[in-house]
Amino acid sequence: MPETLIKICGLTTPETVDAAVEAGATHIGLVHFPDSPRHIAISDAAKLRQRLPRHVKAVLLTVNLDPKATALALQAIEPDVLQLHGSETVEWLKLIKDNSKLEVWKAVGLKDRGTLERAERFKDAAHRVIYDAPSHASAGALPGGNGLTLDWRLLMNYRHAMDWGLAGGLTPDNVADAIRYTGAPLVDASSGLESERGVKDIGRIKAFCQAAREAQPAQV
Ligand SMILES: O=C(O)c1ccccc1N[C@@H]1O[C@H](COP(=O)(O)O)[C@@H](O)[C@H]1O
């Protein structure tokens, strides 16, 4: 059974990046989206990215960022992965995938079985789909990072057409159950690892990584 991949997202300080690396995260997420409390400027993201050892991948997360700004951010930060968390089209993703060495991930708000099946349209345009909770108006304007869980039952025993990961309201307390129920090959957490909105808690980062590493998917 391959090890569960662990992405810790929304990091903004050297201390939390180092803590995530030490705790065993396989991916570090940098959010470049001005509306987010976890937004990081390109130059700061580039500095954090340089702290990572080769075995830990940098994920740049953007939301409907225009092509020119995307190109500038990619050039400065040189991430391994670009996670698109807005309403980016299949065509746009395919263009990026076919013209770069980046891994391209597409976040999809998972409401029901229909959204799960429709996510397959990204099969040739993205390397991985990240299932997140659908964003609600009551959760604020953010398309992600709201700490909302999705209905894990949708993913139980589903035959995925492409690589995938699970996001949405994951915490040190629920990540083992999330892996057990869904068999997620990658778990992605942000707000559940904070002491206050936008401020990561090193203790919670460590506890999350440990719980994810020790979790076993249920045998089906
Ligand atoms: O973290 C943010 O602020 C954010 C903003 C805009 C889009 C996505 C964002 N975060 C990503 O959303 C999911 C779920 O996050 P959470 O664990 O429920 O807080 C995850 O991929 C975050 O990286």
**Average confidence (pLDDT) over 166-195:** 97
Query: Residue 220: inside a domain, yes or no?
Result: no
Select from 87, 91, 11 the least CA-distant residue to 52: 11
CA-nearest residue for atom 10, ligand 1, is: 145
**What is the model's pTM?**
0.95
Query: Residue 180: inside a domain, yes or no?
Result: yes
Whether residue 135 has pLDDT greater than 90? no
**Average confidence (pLDDT) over 125-147:** 85
Query: Residue 162: inside a domain, yes or no?
Result: yes
Query: Residue 84: inside a domain, yes or no?
Result: yes
Q: How far is the CA of 53 from the centre of ligand 1 (A)?
A: 23
Q: How far apart are CA 123 and CA 208, in angstroms?
A: 29
Residue 75 maps to which CATH number? 3.20.20.70
The 10 Å Cβ neighbour count of residue 142 is: 17
Say if ligand 1 is within 6 A of residue 191 CB. yes
Residue at 6: amino acid letter:
I
Q: Which domain covers residue 79, as residue numbers?
A: 5-214
Q: How far is the CA of 69 from the centre of ligand 1 (A)?
A: 20
What does the pLDDT look like over 105-124, one tens digit per residue?
999 999 999 999 999 999 99
Residue 69 is predicted with a pLDDT of 97
Query: Residue 70: inside a domain, yes or no?
Result: yes
Domains identified in the chain, total number? 1
**Average confidence (pLDDT) over 181-192:** 97
Band of pLDDT at residue 1, cut at 50, 70 and 90: confident
SS3 label, residue 217: coil
Say if ligand 1 is within 6 A of residue 33 CB. yes
**Average confidence (pLDDT) over 207-216:** 95
Long-range pairs for 110-118: beta carbons < 8 A, 24 or more residues apart: 110/134, 110/150, 110/151, 110/154, 110/155, 110/168, 112/154, 113/154, 116/154, 116/155, 116/158
Query: Residue 50: inside a domain, yes or no?
Result: yes
Q: How far is the CA of 145 from the centre of ligand 1 (A)?
A: 3
Band of pLDDT at residue 216, cut at 50, 70 and 90: confident
SS3 label, residue 202: helix
Query: Residue 73: inside a domain, yes or no?
Result: yes
Query: Residue 219: inside a domain, yes or no?
Result: no
**Average confidence (pLDDT) over 131-137:** 85
Say if ligand 1 is within 6 A of residue 143 CB. yes
